[in-house]
Amino acid sequence: MTRTHIIGAGMAGLACAVYLAQAGRRVTLHEAAPQAGGRCRSYHDDRLDRWVDNGNHLLLAANLHALGYLDAVGARHKLTAPPGAHFPFVDLNTGERWTVRPNAGRIPWWLLSKRRRVAGAGILAHLRGLRLATGGAEASVAERLYRPNDPMWKRLWLPLTEAIMNTEAETASAKLLGDVLGQAFARGADTAKPLVALNSLSDTFVDPALAVLERAGAEVAFGQRLRRFEGRAGEISGLDFGNTRVALEPGDRVVLTVPGRVAAALLPNLSVPPENRPIVNAHIRLPHRARLAEGIPFIGLIGGTAQWLFLRDDVASITVSAANALVDRPAEEIAAAVWKDTAKTLSLDPAVRPPMRVIKERRATFAATPEALAQRPGTLTRFPNLYLAGDWTNTALPSTIEGAIHSGEAAANAVLGEG
């Protein structure tokens, strides 16, 4: 019986492995790190004495590939959600707080209610978001939406762009953002409802998948960094991991799910998005368990260093996306800045800073510019037994959990489609 070797145990690799294993295929998952999950994982931080995620991730009810994956591994119940499609914000400069609350159904009557809209912005300002769908494939978000002194810019369009695209609005693709927002809000609250991991990313997305693979008899090997492919007669014939080599049998398949820059080093002439953008996260162990309005576990921060704050028990986790201007600053300086935002948001004493951990991901995602989108490869390669997956491939989505799982599912379907 043939075997599929999957290189990389991030979300794309895990999704591909799960779907193939559940289809009865023999699978071996090779991962360079000592654990699975890639950028979607959790670990115990000794400074905080808490389990934390390496970064913050938010799903929406529109993310059908991610939800289907969680169903496949029996873990959808490990998500939690606010009572509806509620997106709270606070302006750290003025102290204003508001919650964007789309209604159920396709007709956006919520725009008629001042209590459901962005504070200080009228109906027409909200409808300006439709401009993302016009202007062509080369337009940036700023070109389509920026207006001087428009509160919607800094209070919604800018934080959404940076959170979804991890790219500065001046260069981020307007079309891609418009496509994502259209999918998420097309049916109102039914698709826009936010979902977060109840306990941790690993508990929700990683551990259940590994359990499924174990029950299916799949092989999982950690500490296996692929050095090069071996080729023969136009196909991949072997995998060189340095200390070990795997010879492929006739009919074996390989799915490469490593980051784009690594894939390009392994496959000369492979087209990949050329630029990456950093994300800076900070985890803060609070003096006591905190709570936000309506029990919603996250809030958007306007006018500060950080953009989003997530709460889980007594840990506040801060995210700064598109963090080009921040990533090279000392960790202590970053900690002081984000604690100021956190203390103000949660009404804590800013002079008493609790234990914190700052995490810098210098190449967190590809830069979602119009130029980069044109360089995203598809699932198939010039080798008939080699496939690609990863959030940087041509998923028509940004670099997200949904995009990664979608790509892994597409690769699994390509392998299965060959019989």
- Nearest to 179, CA basis, from 144, 140, 221, 133: 133
pLDDT digits (tens, 9 = 90+) for 54-111: 999 999 999 999 999 999 999 999 999 888 899 999 999 999 999 999 999 999 999 9
pLDDT in tens, 346-393: 999 999 999 999 999 999 999 999 999 999 999 999 999 999 999 999
pLDDT at 419 over 60: no
Backbone φ, ψ for residue 5 (5° rounding): -95, 120
Do the Cβ atoms of 403 and 176 come closer than 8 Å? Answer: no
For the chain, which domains are there?
Answer: 3-42+200-274+369-416 (3.50.50.60), 87-192 (no CATH)
Report, in this order, helix, strand and coil percent for the chain, each rounded to 5. 35, 25, 40
Instruction: Point out which residues pair with 240 in neighbouring strands.
Output: 228, 245
Taking alpha carbons only, the member of 223, 225, 211 closest to residue 256 is 225
Residue pair 282/305 in contact (Cβ under 8 Å)? The answer is: no
- Whole-number percent of the chain with pLDDT over 70: 100
pTM of the model: 0.96
